[in-house]
């Protein structure tokens, strides 16, 4: 079952040309906004729309006609100012994507304000206050943990494969990895690979 949704109603609706229409047009328009899905579609019959809008069928038909017609004074010039179009099984709110994108941008700004406020509060309380603390967006914690793991792994490699080991140390390390200590060319290649592995840029043979 689809989750219950809500329509964000902008204050500017009260200064739009649709607000100058008769009551039945405004009621049907707000009902359409409240019932549209994530794609801006409203699936209903005319009698069904009239029922939920609490408007007579005759007035609902008139409202749909008005909302489907061009409006030269509309602030949204797309589609010649039309608010809706007929689709199979109902209607589509034509400016849905524009207002959805505007809402998403506002939600993102609000999220950033909340995150930064939580971060500042962490500093005041004596918490570590690292960048990215506070409410996390998806993937933020995983990214931080991965960075930490890579840093620890790199440090461990340096301890395991010291670049300044003496020749005897290199021979013992070579024997451990199955490299013949007395074969100069093979040993030199092994040293090179170990040094690269110590900096996280390669692998030492198992």
Q: Mind listing the pLDDT tens digit for each residue in 53-95?
A: 999 999 999 999 999 999 999 887 788 989 999 999 999 999 8
User: Strand, coil or helix: what is 199?
Assistant: coil
Q: What is the CA radius of gyration of the chain?
A: 33
User: Strand, coil or helix: what is 200?
Assistant: coil
Distance, CA of 137 to CA of 121 (rounded, Å): 18
Give the whole-number percent of the chain exceeding pLDDT 90.
33
135, 111 in Cβ contact below 8 A? Answer: yes
Q: Which two tokens stand for residue 176?
A: 């451990």
Distance, CA of 139 to CA of 131 (rounded, Å): 15
Distance, CA of 27 to CA of 155 (rounded, Å): 66
Distance, CA of 171 to CA of 26 (rounded, Å): 86
* Domains assigned to the chain: 11-94 (1.10.10), 146-198 (no CATH)
Q: Which two tokens stand for residue 48?
A: 């069904």
- Find the mean pLDDT for residues 92-101: 75
181, 175 in Cβ contact below 8 A? Answer: yes
Residue identified by tokens 């939580």 is: 118
86, 47 in Cβ contact below 8 A? Answer: no
Q: Is the pLDDT of residue 140 over 50?
A: no
pLDDT band for position 107 (50/70/90)? low
pTM of the model: 0.49
């Amino acid at each position: 079952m689809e989750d219950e949704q809500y329509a964000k109603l902008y204050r500017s609706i009260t200064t739009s040309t649709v607000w100058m229409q008769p009551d039945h047009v405004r009621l049907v328009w707000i009902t359409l906004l409240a019932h549209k899905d994530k794609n801006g579609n409203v699936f209903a019959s005319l009698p069904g729309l009239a029922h939920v809008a609490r408007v007579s069928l005759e007035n609902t038909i008139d409202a749909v006609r008005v909302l489907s017609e061009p409006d030269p004074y509309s602030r949204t010039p797309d589609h010649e100012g039309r608010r809706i179009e007929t689709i199979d099984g109902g209607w589509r709110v034509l400016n849905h994507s524009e207002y959805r994108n505007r809402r998403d941008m506002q939600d993102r700004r609000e999220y950033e304000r909340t995150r930064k406020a939580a971060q500042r509060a962490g500093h005041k309380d004596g918490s570590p206050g690292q960048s990215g603390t506070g409410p996390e967006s998806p993937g933020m914690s995983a990214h931080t943990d991965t960075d930490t793991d890579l840093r620890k792994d790199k440090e461990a490699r340096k301890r395991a494969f010291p670049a300044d080991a003496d020749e005897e140390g290199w021979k013992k390390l070579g024997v451990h990895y199955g490299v013949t200590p007395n074969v100069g060319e093979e040993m030199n290649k092994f040293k090179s690979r170990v040094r690269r592995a110590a900096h996280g840029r390669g692998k030492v043979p198992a």
